[in-house]
Structure 1
């Protein structure tokens, strides 16, 4: 194994606690920490202690070097520099993060669900304590914020930012079938729609119709874009986002202004697309993008010639990073937290709310479930902030006081059994908008 020398290897050791340690994110981070000896996994928190110990054995990490506990209720925070919160659960994640900050420990927030409910309040607590509260590199929100920082520092004019969905649509023209994450549908008509043509919106609508049996939108996508919106002030163009079925080289045309033939109604939009590719073509790999206006045509035609993605009329360019490497990248944020690196502060410019998909009777119980952390009966929507509206992930464990018809937003007054501490933190965060906003 050859590792190039880096100043990060020479710094004072950083001791971290990791919650949700037995998840996929936890494993990728722990695997990477074997190559970053300056970061020491001191405490691993997960209810599945046996699973954590099996993982440690699989990774050849000495079990005596790490404390493994089912929860952090009795954790001694002294000597811990950074908490990496990856539980994915709002109540537990908020408690872990708030306790860490109260005990002088920086927080790297991987649980986007937690951030989408209590991010502004946790950021306020961190600021008052002189600590860091940062979104974790390796997931799309933090990666996209890094790209936005680069684009802004360069001085480019941003029109839209976003990410691809987690799973590509792979279309094989020889069979006429589309495969997404192991699910196959017949869509031979896509062969005639591989070019955008002159009417971009019509082509996108036709593509979407052909792949309609596939589940392309996910609550995780909306949650991630809400995290980004809370730090940039950008918002969704439509509450469920556009989700165009798009090839990489089309993004600059698709996310152009409506007046220029694209789908974007205004500047400053966050969105998600479904990546369409042929067998053997490179994937966007759940990566992130920024659509910018180009400016000098000579400069950008030179860049087009070097393979950069430009719109056909040359007015827009797509700058993209086709990756997110989960915990492999998170050491970057751990370093940044200890170094008190500047970061955008979250504020409620957008909230992730829940809109009922069916008529829901009184007593309906809500629970987050599945790989994409979704809630049956309600769809995630990105809307303007309203204190009376319940954040999507605050529904977990709550139930309806009374019946609600399909198509309605779930409001706080509609719920009983809402977790008290996250609710109070959410409401505290809503009072910060006027005084703080999203800023460095």
Structure 2
């Protein structure tokens, strides 16, 4: 509760937390708009493939032109301004940088960057949850061995859900379910970047389509991002995926403790101690009042009669039995909250969530019949979506991780709804991302 005071002390001492950001996209821009206003934080460098675009982003985020126009890293350090560049190596070589934010969204690139950041002796905040679910347990282990922090990104839903779980366990509660809300219908699994507009225009007033990345939005709607984020939560908390992945039951925020409890107790879950994502739509496509489409939650169990009495007395959104209760957060602010992770990693040397085990995976599942010789287009594309699966099942059946299902060609025909396997595609065993993934599997194989 004292991070702001610790940052203020750093500011007064003239020794701010010095940050480098890789990737000035949506998440990065939301961080930048608040970082400029945070005492004790200096964004010394922004690394982006398109520096000119990154400078335009700074202007959009409210930065005065001179603040984002340092000609070199030395100049940035001396003036408190920011150096924008497309060269990562000099930034990582500078010992004055405390922490690096990886916000590219590309799993292979994220793994490569993360390893380089760790080797440079800097803390890493991994916004790139795609890289985290592909190899995060190994990356976090390497960071710990190097004496640096590997952290999930506060403001993104996985870190917020991890905080819910940590709160519950610290208070002695049994965690029944943790998760988030989204907008979901079963047919969304077949959405493509071309057809996703039909859904987006139902709830977004889009006047300029050039401002929308349809592949990114498609990932949120076709179920992929939910599988990715719940996998990150499982690997950081030890919660276990349901045997057939997420079911996306419809629920309002006031129904969570009734819906997200085990089936034998009248709920929808296969078991207790798992993750789920609830839909803001009924299966008929109607909006649910008081839905949780942008929020996060945890369902806990009262294990004594007195605990259940307290649930009722303090209006803990309990189910009819009084045995299960919910704590929820109605929304999340993405990169605008990322300062929590930056400050925690540097000042407390604590992550805001980090993978510790490999209990969940997200695997490539065909959106439509696809033919041998076709090339997969990865997350949010037209060929596959990402389904959450228990890691042990994924390894036993050699399911293809979603993070490797881009730019690879099929070796056989695949039916709609079929989960792809490693031998379904041509894989370059020497690809760095493949090698790291295989190393992670060997190190963290369940059992």
Shorter-chain TM-score bucket reads: 0.7 to 0.9
Q: Is the 8 A contact 2:240 2:274 kept in 1?
A: yes
Report the Cα offset of residue 299 of structure 1. Answer: 4.7
Instruction: Tell me if 1:72 matches 2:83.
Output: no
Secondary structure of the 1:95 match is helix
- Cα RMSD after superposing both structures: 2.8
- Distance in 2, matches of 1:280 and 1:360, equals 35
Aligned length in residues: 388
TM-score (norm 1): 0.81
2:202 corresponds to which residue?
A: 183
- Distance in 2, matches of 1:49 and 1:101, equals 24
Alignment of 1:93-242 (within 5 A): 93-165=110-182, 182-183=201-202, 217-242=222-247
Distance 1:377 1:57, change over 3 A: closer
Q: Is the 8 A contact 1:357 1:377 kept in 2?
A: yes
- Distance in 1, matches of 2:36 and 2:44, equals 13
1:394 corresponds to which residue?
A: 404
- Distance in 2, matches of 1:376 and 1:271, equals 25
Among candidates 274, 297, 322, match of residue 314 of structure 1? 322
- Distance in 2, matches of 1:32 and 1:282, equals 29
Q: Is the 8 A contact 2:252 2:288 kept in 1?
A: no
- Distance in 2, matches of 1:66 and 1:356, equals 44
Secondary structure of the 2:376 match is coil
Q: Is the 8 A contact 2:369 2:414 kept in 1?
A: yes
- Distance in 2, matches of 1:366 and 1:5, equals 45
2:6 corresponds to which residue?
A: 7
1:30 corresponds to which residue?
A: 32
Secondary structure of the 1:337 match is helix
Moved more, 286-295 or 397-406: 397-406
TM-score (norm 2): 0.79
2:268 corresponds to which residue?
A: 263
Report the Cα offset of residue 301 of structure 1. Answer: 4.2
- Distance in 1, matches of 2:335 and 2:399, equals 33
Report the Cα offset of residue 114 of structure 1. Answer: 0.9
2:444 corresponds to which residue?
A: 433
Give CA deviations for 1:238-281 in whole Å, capped at 9, x if unaligned: 43411111111111111122122111221111110013599996
Question: 5+ residue gaps in structure 1?
Answer: 169-178, 185-214
Q: Is the 8 A contact 2:180 2:293 kept in 1?
A: no
Moved more, 4-13 or 129-138: 4-13
1:355 corresponds to which residue?
A: 365
- Distance in 1, matches of 2:287 and 2:414, equals 45
Among candidates 325, 337, 343, match of residue 335 of structure 1? 343
Distance 1:354 1:281, change over 3 A: closer
Distance 1:88 1:166, change over 3 A: farther
Give CA deviations for 1:80-106 in whole Å, capped at 9, x if unaligned: 111111100012211111111111111
Report the Cα offset of residue 166 of structure 1. Answer: 5.7
Among candidates 242, 248, 254, match of residue 249 of structure 1? 254
Report the Cα offset of residue 282 of structure 1. Answer: 5.3
Among candidates 398, 423, 435, match of residue 413 of structure 1? 423
Give CA deviations for 1:322-363 in whole Å, capped at 9, x if unaligned: 221111221111122123226553322111111223332122
Report the Cα offset of residue 383 of structure 1. Answer: 1.8
2:63 corresponds to which residue?
A: 60
Secondary structure of the 2:125 match is strand
Q: Which has the higher strand share?
A: 1
